[in-house]
């Protein structure tokens, strides 16, 4: 059951309890208000699931800022609170460095591709 939802910065696919949020290059220049709208959309989807599995596919993004990092943390906290989990896929070297500096690279599993992340989360 694949239902894509799109904005300039994200494409969201839902496969039962698995939600894949794919960031586009527009994320790198996202304005503050748009990010909050994206957060509300994603949080709404996660809130409807018992054990949400979230994957943020960042393969099209080289850099993201603190607003997006805050969104990741909010989504992760909600997923964990609902008995789910979250992973990242396709993370650039630049973004990996940001995650390392914030120690979030040890909190979230990071996979090379979206497919690898989907297989890992669905096999647990």
CA torsion through residues 21, 46, 55, 98, sign: positive
**For the chain, domain boundaries:** 5-123
By DSSP bridging, strand 18-23 and strand 53-57 are parallel
Position 31 confidence tier, pLDDT thresholds 50, 70, 90:
low
The tens digit of pLDDT for each residue in 83-108 reads 999 999 999 999 999 999 999 999 99
* CATH superfamily name and code, 5-123: STAS domain (3.30.750.24)
Per the CB < 8 A criterion, the answer to whether 48 and 84 are in contact is no
pLDDT at residue 7 is higher than 80: no
The tens digit of pLDDT for each residue in 45-60 reads 888 888 999 999 999 9
């Amino acid at each position: 059951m694949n239902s894509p939802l799109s904005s300039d910065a994200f494409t969201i696919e839902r496969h039962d309890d698995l939600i894949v949020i794919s960031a586009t290059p527009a994320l790198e220049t996202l304005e503050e208000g748009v990010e909050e709208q994206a957060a509300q959309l994603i949080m709404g989807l996660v809130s409807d699931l018992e054990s949400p599995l979230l994957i943020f596919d960042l393969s099209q993004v080289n850099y993201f800022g603190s607003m997006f990092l805050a969104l990741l943390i909010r989504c992760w906290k909600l997923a964990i609170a609902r008995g789910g989990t979250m992973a990242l896929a396709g993370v650039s070297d630049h973004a990996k460095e940001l995650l390392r500096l914030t120690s979030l690279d040890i909190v979230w599993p990071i996979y090379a591709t979206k497919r690898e992340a989907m297989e890992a989360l669905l096999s647990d």
